[in-house]
Amino acid sequence: MKVGIMSFAHHHAEAYIQKLRAIPQVELLGVADEDINRGERIAEQHVTRFFRTYEELISTGPDGVIICSENNKHLPLVELAADAGVNVLCEKPIATNVEDARTIVDVCDRAGVLLMTAFPMRFSTPLVGIKDKLDAGDFGQIYCFNATNQGELPKKHREWFVDKTLAGGGAVMDHTVHLVDIMRWYSGEEVSEVYAQTNHIFHADEVEVETGGLELITFENGTFASIDSSWSRPPYWPTWGGLTFEMITERGSILVDAFRQNLTIYRQDWQRAGWAYWGTDANQAMINEFIAAIRDNRQPSVSGYDGLKAVEVVQAAYASADSGQPMRLPLE
């Protein structure tokens, strides 16, 4: 099976190279990037072919591509791949607005290609374990969630993460989608209402987008949730981010930390401690699922529709923060 990577705007793309190479009988065709200097440098570092245009990569006939461009550039790359009959794994959020997200889903549906959203937390061992127990009826009904997705200011990884046009927003855009997807997955319910407040307390002198947000979400069956989506971690924190939630159910309270499987490492030449993960690799499992879905000619376990529903909640959160009022979904 032949797979290519389109754009290195998102820093996850470099990790995906190694994940693809870890899968037997998968060939990394190469990488394409509109930033020629960045693309050539990364291709050289990872000893792979560099394509100067996305069209050149697509012309080699990949079975699938992983799209890692800036958020607002996902749509044209998805269209290019879908028109050529190439299956797509698209970084999250799949778009910066609902209209583009819906178009991405429709384009792939019409072309008959697979569309998967890059939600690696669906493959986190702690989260999968809780999902299995939910499905077995061990916890009974879900009543509510209290969740956090907090991280450091991401501009040190890529400057575009704090550009409203390219990223679609700030911390709310960056962090909300993961938890919304998990909650939909766990509950089997859709979001009916969103109330949100955002602020600019953190890094006020560095960026113009919001760096903190609190969202209160209600699902169609009455389950409710809160999400703290913020870039609140200090620069000396051991890792770039984290994802936690408390889930209150009919039979008890469950505390989940998706990044708990780690060891804290201290070295004299580091300015901060680091985390070494000993648990399973959620990114590897996600890439494995993309490849397996192509081989089996089936829908991936995380779909483009899942990506669309997460973007709907983010757009509603921004509309609520702007108006000061709760927003009903779907937005008019």
Pairwise pLDDT comparison (151 vs 7), residue with the higher score: 7
pLDDT for 279: 74
Domain spanning 125-281+311-328: CATH superfamily: Dihydrodipicolinate Reductase; domain 2 (3.30.360.10)
**262, pLDDT greater than 80:** no
**pTM > 0.85: yes or no:** yes
Same fold, 2-120+286-308 and 125-281+311-328: no
All structural domains of the chain with their residue ranges: 2-120+286-308, 125-281+311-328
CB atoms within 10 A of CB 166: 17
Give me the chain's average pLDDT, please: 94
Q: For residue 311, name the pLDDT band (cuts at 50, 70, 90).
A: very high
pLDDT for 168: 97
Residue 257 buriedness (CB in 10 A; 0-12 / 13-18 / 19+): middle
**130, pLDDT greater than 80:** yes
pLDDT for 113: 98
pLDDT for 275: 75
**For 36-56, how does the pLDDT look when each residue is reduced to its tens digit (9 = 90+)?**
999 999 999 999 999 999 999
Quote the percentage of the chain above a pLDDT of 90. 84
183 contacts 201 by C-beta, under 8 angstroms = no
Judged by DSSP in three states, 266 sits in coil
Task: Give the mean model confidence (pLDDT) for residues 276-294.
Answer: 91
CATH fold for the domain made of 2-120+286-308: Rossmann fold (3.40.50)
Task: Give the mean model confidence (pLDDT) for residues 180-202.
Answer: 97
Helix (H) or strand (E) segment spanning residue 284:
helix 282-296
157 contacts 240 by C-beta, under 8 angstroms = yes
Partner residues linked to 116 by β-bridges:
89
Helix (H) or strand (E) segment spanning residue 311:
helix 304-323
